[in-house]
Structure 1
């Protein structure tokens, strides 16, 4: 079903026609009756040939923002995507849904590239996925220029910004390449993680007006965030996986060595686990990724080399075994849980010594001093997140510039029912020490002074003469630095930027020091069953999952490509008994009904009887 682009943007009647056409595609092809917030606004702009930046959380439906226009426009939509796995994932899902799509990347031969470009030229393909590096090739750009390209979608658009957490130099050439195309395509840039600065940078580089940004906010209402501090991480992890058996999840670690160690540990405990990192062969990585996507081994242990753009919708938990380098990376990786909208968890297992790994990565990077200073600043923010006592979702939203939100009511801090205890006196001791040290030192030296350490640095700087020297000698250095981190995270202390930040007292801290305010802190968290796990283990749902797995193996696609967990749960709730009733289930369009409806209906009808 193709609607000529010329009918759009001419007036209200034409706009109404465009909206009706978009809704028709949404229902027939994707099985949804209405758009999610922001989707219709983005689609309207595209159909009016207006460059647009869409900032939506992971799982917010960004891909539909360009896939629906691709089916409405007469020409081709080129999707610039950073990873081969992402392209294959989305192309497989589109083709399974009866939508003609293909990709061009280094995994196929030159002959195959020419064949796929010829398909595009003949109008047999609506969406063409390409890697940004491919656009550096002048010959390939000439081949693209010969195609009727109406829309260029730039996925993971934060990669274009030096200020983004995953900058890719190959993205910088995009604006020039698009401008050179004789078809003058519209540009849609999409990202889930963009601070205000990154969003502005994207708009400048891709000629998107400031009025062209559609930001639906960063909140993931189905995602529960949790920070687990200063506990034996292996013990917590093993207990959590026992409680949440039969759930798919990703466990992130910072190094290949830690990935291998955790994988061996979980395999020894008979968990269905696989692994992914850059030290493996491409064949091994591909096999392990496929085992994870097909739910043969639903637990993936990986470095951050894994996951960008993976569309596996039924990931119920993402656990970070070691702290990421910045909050953008963390939020993007955590957002791989619950893409289907069902309740899911993002857990950070935090130990201060893990920060040393991140310091090493920054020190060994090839960036200049300014780059390293920015990275140290981002790491400080990550450390504050791990130590804050406020709502974790609020902390994240504020970082991305979204203020005024209420506490989420579902993160580990909001649900923490441990009692508060008054730590005002200890806080005053720390704050007094910081004042007396004139903001010249960082938390380690402050903790050493408070603990009464006897070392040369303290003696040389006359710090052993301070009235606060040794006044908290009953606590260990680990306890003291942890308490200083808590005071910093909650805004009583402010760190400077750079590799070796010093601490200064804030106005909030001054109020405590003067006795005008109190400081309260909560007393180790225990593993719990995820919200999703508690609600999906009914017999009918398991029957539908088993059928989905059989069909997926037969079709050679991941199970979530057939139907998402959310669609299966809605089948259990609605209990459709006819083909017409099946179409009322979210995620079931006409193509999916024709392809898979009959065997699912048999199970549902038998259950109803």
Structure 2
């Protein structure tokens, strides 16, 4: 055995022991072990792993195994306290530094770092621009640099943060400290940009599968989107926590108010709210069960709430990367979840208009159009949506999943060549005969033979194409226009979203190309788990006789979370509670063998759990167990500030679109 092999075995066994002792798991998942061994051994790594795949362990364990403190670059300081609370709950010595702390608090954290008393220290990228921060780090012992949400370095990405461009200084100033850059979403181009801009040419790349099999992807035609959303939530996700994304602040406010008025507790979140309100709403979402947040894209990055059961979009995302990142916030615990979107013609027109009227240069518009084209292709596909997503991220050859809307209710296709020719001919007649350009609504009215006020005003009832499209209904014509836009056979132009021909239009008008279109699919049947789910019950498959045990444990967990001012999942996740309910341990040793119960949680909460189980069996709780919460002891994992509202962020929040 050579020295390298021996070191690998030692660090590998130490990493596995740390996983079991701290986090309560007996084995790594997927690429975790290989990544951890590589970083522990001193190598740089770029990690692409889907949300919920266990990225955090890939830097947390190396930070605990290697000598020194792991420095974690995290983009949202409003979440640092929650991240640190969760780590302290399992016995990890973690801290953070940001502008929400006063001088004494920062000085204490600095002293802990310099004394080697921290396993992990969280910093925002903005703080690494300060000479004082770089000077502090140079005086301490650093085990690893972790750059979380590394896609923020991509200038053409959906979450670009300029401060990430300066992070190459880490490799320059600390060439012997391993760096690990992590993200949940990146195309090949974004992957390369991360590597280049962070200055990590020798990093080993680990790309896990992008598949999230527990998420059901569904896209429906937009009719009355708020009512469609309400029906979806009432039928399938009543009482569940979830996120609803809208593009405009006005839509966010209106949707949250509509849901609240109809019996679903919802709060808004967007960049136009004051920082205190945003912080309160985010804190409620993390700590309460069953709350819905209606938000712009300013919300969600970095949030580690495992029991988000759905993510809904009422407007078309700008890119597949953005869509995947946002939908990936559902089902981090691996339990059944839904990614639902309402999508219509106006979404396409509006997105095209925003690109054309935007301030970016021609290169920016080309890239934005390419992103939108890929998003439209996902919406209009007749194949499995999951396999289309995986193909976009370079994961070829994925089989149909059997759990998305196009698998559950395969769409029919039809020869839409004549319909396409009628649309294009109407555009030609308006432009060449009248020197006019109009949007989709006017063109559809002409085809349907509607003598609307605008049709009469412009004498469009005198056109030869007036009334030649009565074989299709208005909704069907809107679908034709939408799909022609998606296929690049027609385009949107100018401030008013008028339709114009493209270079490809002539191939259709000249009968050189067949146009295949998809019929609007019938509503997909709801999954069995969704049909059976009752209000406020989690998506956990348990035998009927065990369900009351789970609910009792969940009620106990909720009381402890409220008492300690932390999210319920910080105490135990649903998957761990369900395993406890199934096994019903009668001793601390048996409880400690369950996945997700590490040494610290066992010491803090073990007796309380056993007391609940004993009470359900009609037995007296073991001595010292009754009412035990684990709080208030000498090893209390919750510092005094836990339970206070998170302070406002000290970096700018990305602006959303105002219509």
The TM-score bracket by the shorter chain reads: 0.7 to 0.9
Task: Give CA deviations for 1:489-514 in whole Å, capped at 9, x if unaligned.
Answer: 6x7x66789988855669x999x978
Instruction: Find the counterpart in structure 2 of residue 375 from structure 1.
Output: 368
1:555 aligns with 2:546: no
Alignment counterpart, residue 189 of structure 2, candidates 193, 197, 219: 197
SS in 2 for 1:57: coil
Contact 2:409–2:522, Cα closer than 8 Å, also in 1 = no
Separation in 1, partners of 2:2, 2:231: 57
Instruction: Report whether the alignment pairs 1:218 with 2:216.
Output: no
* Residue equivalent to 2:341: 348
**SS of 2:312 mapped into structure 1:** strand
Q: CA 1:429 to 1:232, structure 2 compared with 1: closer, same or farther past 3 Å? A: closer
- TM-superposed CA distance for 1:223, in Å, is 0.9
Superposition map of 1:131-280 within 5 A? 131-181=124-174, 184-209=176-201, 212-243=204-235, 244-280=237-273
- 1:5 corresponding residue in structure 2: none
2:536 is aligned to none
Q: Is the 8 A contact 2:330 2:338 kept in 1?
A: yes
Please say if residues 393 and 407 of structure 1, whose CA atoms lie closer than 8 Å, have aligned partners that are also in contact. Answer: yes
1:115 Cα deviation from its structure 2 partner? 2.5
Cα deviation for residue 74 of structure 1 reads: 0.6
- Equivalences for residues 14-93 of structure 1 within 5 A: 14-93=7-86
Verify the 8 A CA contact 2:348 2:485 in the aligned structure 1. Answer: no
Secondary structure in 2 aligned to 1:214? strand
197-206 vs 372-381, greater mean Cα deviation:
372-381
Alpha-carbon distance in structure 2 between the residues aligned to 1:452 and 1:290: 54
Q: Which has the higher contact order (CA 8 A, sep 6+)?
A: 2
Structure 1 counterpart SS, 2:529: coil
How far does residue 262 in structure 1 lie from its aligned partner after superposition? 1.3
TM-score (ref. length: structure 1): 0.87
Q: Which moved more, 1:52-61 or 1:203-212?
A: 203-212
Cα 1:523–1:160 change in 2 (3 A) is: closer
After superposition, the Cα gap between the structure-2 partners of 1:210 and 1:423, relative to the gap in structure 1 and judged at 3 Å, is: farther
Residue number in structure 2 paired with 1:578: 587
Q: Distance in 2 between matches of 1:266 and 1:152?
A: 43
Alignment of 1:171-570 (within 5 A): 171-181=164-174, 184-209=176-201, 212-243=204-235, 244-295=237-288, 298-359=291-352, 361-362=354-355, 365-416=358-409, 423-424=414-415, 426-430=416-420, 444=440, 471-475=468-472, 478-486=475-483, 521=519, 523=521, 525=523, 528=526, 531=529, 534=533, 535-536=539-540, 538-570=547-579
- Larger mean Cα displacement after TM superposition, 376-385 or 204-213: 204-213
DSSP-derived class of the 2:406 partner: coil
Indicate the SS of the match to 1:413. helix
Indicate if the aligned counterparts of 1:319 and 1:348 stay in contact, CA closer than 8 A.
yes
Q: Which moved more, 1:99-108 or 1:363-372?
A: 363-372
Query: What stretches of structure 1 of length at least 5 have no aligned partner?
Result: 1-7
In the TM superposition, what are the counterparts of 1:91-110 in structure 2 within 5 Å? 91-110=84-103
Gap change, CA 1:581 and 1:173, over 3 Å in 2? same
- Cα displacement (A) at 1:362: 4.0
Q: Distance in 1 between matches of 2:208 and 2:193?
A: 18
Secondary structure of the 1:79 match is strand
User: Counterpart in 2 of 1:4?
Assistant: none
Is residue 2:599 matched to residue 1:590? Answer: yes
Cα deviation per residue 1:107-154 (whole Å; 9 max; x = unaligned)?
223443233112100011111111111111122212222121121110
Hey, what's the Cα distance between the residues in 1 that align with 2:68 and 2:469? 71
Deviation at 1:523, TM superposition (A): 4.3
Root-mean-square deviation (CA, aligned residues, Å) is 3.6
**Pairwise CA distance, 1:85:** 2.8
Distance (whole Å) between structure 2 residues aligned to residue 177 and residue 523 of structure 1: 51
| 1:354 to partner: Cα distance | 3.1
1:576 counterpart SS class = coil
Q: Which residue number in structure 1 is paired with residue 630 of structure 2?
A: none
Change (3 A) 1:403 1:497: farther
Q: Deviations over 1:309-336 (max 9, x none)?
A: 1111111111112222111111111111
For the structure 1 residues 193 and 320, does the alpha-carbon distance in structure 2 shift closer, same or farther, using more than 3 Å as the test?
same
- Structure 2 portions without partners, runs of 5+: 432-436, 534-538, 619-659
Distance 2:324 2:276 in 1: 29
Aligned to 2:611: 602
Distance, in Å, in 1 between the alignment partners of 2:245 and 2:294 is: 6
Q: Is the 8 A contact 1:75 1:148 kept in 2?
A: yes
Moved more, 25-34 or 288-297: 288-297
- TM-superposed CA distance for 1:386, in Å, is 2.1
Question: Aligned pair count?
Answer: 589
- Measured in 2, the distance between the counterparts of 1:527 and 1:165 equals 32
Match of 1:13 among 1, 6, 27: 6
Partners of 2:377 and 2:355 lie apart in 1 by 18
Taking the aligned partners of 1:61 and 1:494, their CA distance within structure 2 comes to 43
Counterpart CA distance in 1 for 2:438 and 2:49 is: 37
1:559-597 deviation line (CA, Å, top 9, x unaligned) = 011111111122223333322222232211111111112
SS at match of 1:102: strand
> Deviations 1:17-42 (Å, cap 9, x if unpaired)?
11111111111111111111111111
SS in 2 for 1:318: strand
Q: Residues of 2 paired with 1:496 and 1:373: CA distance?
A: 14
Residue 392 of structure 1 deviates from its aligned partner by 1.2
Q: What SS does structure 1 have at the residue aligned with 2:405?
A: coil
Alpha-carbon deviation of 1:286?
A: 1.5
Q: Distance in 2 between matches of 1:131 and 1:203?
A: 20
Question: 1:280-334, CA deviations, whole angstroms, 9 ceiling, x for partnerless residues?
Answer: 2222222111211111662111111111111111111111122221111111111
SS at match of 1:329: helix
Kindly indicate whether the alpha-carbon contact (under 8 Å) linking 2:423 and 2:481 is maintained by their aligned counterparts in 1. no
Partner of 2:637: none
Where 2:196 maps in the other structure, the secondary structure is: helix
**Residues in 2 aligned to 1:326 and 1:442: alpha-carbon distance in whole angstroms:** 27
